[in-house]
Amino acid sequence: MKEIRTVKFDTELKVEAYHFQGIMQKFPNHFHDYYVIGFIERGSRHLFCKNKDYTIEPGDLLLFNPGDNHTCEQIDGKTLDYRCINIQPKIMRKIICEITGQEDLPYFATPVVFHSELFPMLKELHLIIMQEEKDFRKEEIFFLLLEQLIEEYTDKMLSSKAEQSVEVKAICEFLEKNHRNNIMLNDLCDLTGLSKYYLIRFFTKEKGISPYSYLETIRIDKAKKLLEQGVLPIDVAFQTGFSDQSHFSNFFKKFIGLTPKQYGNIFKDKG
């Protein structure tokens, strides 16, 4: 199957829709700062999310909260047909407020819902977004789908998750603030008073992702926001801590599945 990578940004719902066909790409351990609601149309994947293993197949739903670390790869030797909808927290907050009257963000209790009855509804919504339909059926399905997901698969709000340790919080804030710079492990040790080995093990156990992988994800998320604003890939590379544009382009595609140019083109005509 020919490899096709398509992304649409819906200006009414304010969400992204991804459709990857014919790909065999393995995605490294990473997280997003937005919600992901996805499914596989064809193929089987091994998913490792929040320190648990899953085998996902057609008909299963994927529900990732912001910050959920995950990695996945093909396991059946066949190409993948993957589709998802990405929702930024500020958009999710507005939706939840309309549905429940609460302003807290939802927290999905499980990353995988096997053989979900909501699969056809998500598939239809994704198709409507990809085909850029404009009637209100799209919004109707969107709200009904999220209402069902929240009712069935959330048992707490994102803000009620257990607080992270002082050391891990300090490391995360430092990496966020200094992601453009060349950061050394000694910098993190000086910040926390922890030894190198203990810091790596402690951080990875609590966050489910290593400190450097956390930094890589921050850089990619910052890069996405700059590309959405129309900043050229070569400028984005240097504004997010990458050594050159080639390194940035290869790294971006490894994480996102698109080149920086492909991703930036989504937003050119969307304002």
| Domain extent listing, the chain | 4-159, 166-265
Contact 63, 37 (CB under 8 A): yes
Specify burial of residue 206 (Cβ count, 10 A radius: 0-12, 13-18, 19+): middle
Q: How many CB atoms lie within 10 A of CB 23?
A: 18
CA distance 239 to 233: 10
The CATH class for the domain spanning 4-159 reads mainly beta
Q: What is the pLDDT of residue 200?
A: 92
CA distance 168 to 181: 19
Name the percent of the chain lying above pLDDT 90.
Answer: 56
Q: Please provide residue 167's backbone torsions phi and psi, each rounded to the nearest 5 degrees.
A: -65, -45
Sequence-distant (≥ 6) Cβ neighbours of residue 78 within 8 angstroms: 42, 43, 44
Asked if the domains at 4-159 and 166-265 fall in one CATH topology, the answer is no
Q: What is the pLDDT of residue 160?
A: 45
Phi/psi-derived region of residue 144, left when phi > 0, alpha when psi is between -120 and 50, beta in every other case: alpha
- CA atoms lying within 13 Å on the CB side of residue 216: 19
Q: Which CATH superfamily is domain 166-265 in?
A: Homeodomain-like (1.10.10.60)
Query: Per-residue pLDDT tens for 85-119?
Result: 999 999 999 998 888 888 889 999 999 999 999 99
Q: What is the pLDDT of residue 85?
A: 97
Q: What is the pLDDT of residue 271?
A: 53
Q: What is the pLDDT of residue 156?
A: 62
Q: What is the pLDDT of residue 77?
A: 80
Q: What is the pLDDT of residue 169?
A: 92
The segments of the chain whose pLDDT lies below 70 read: 1, 156-163, 269-271
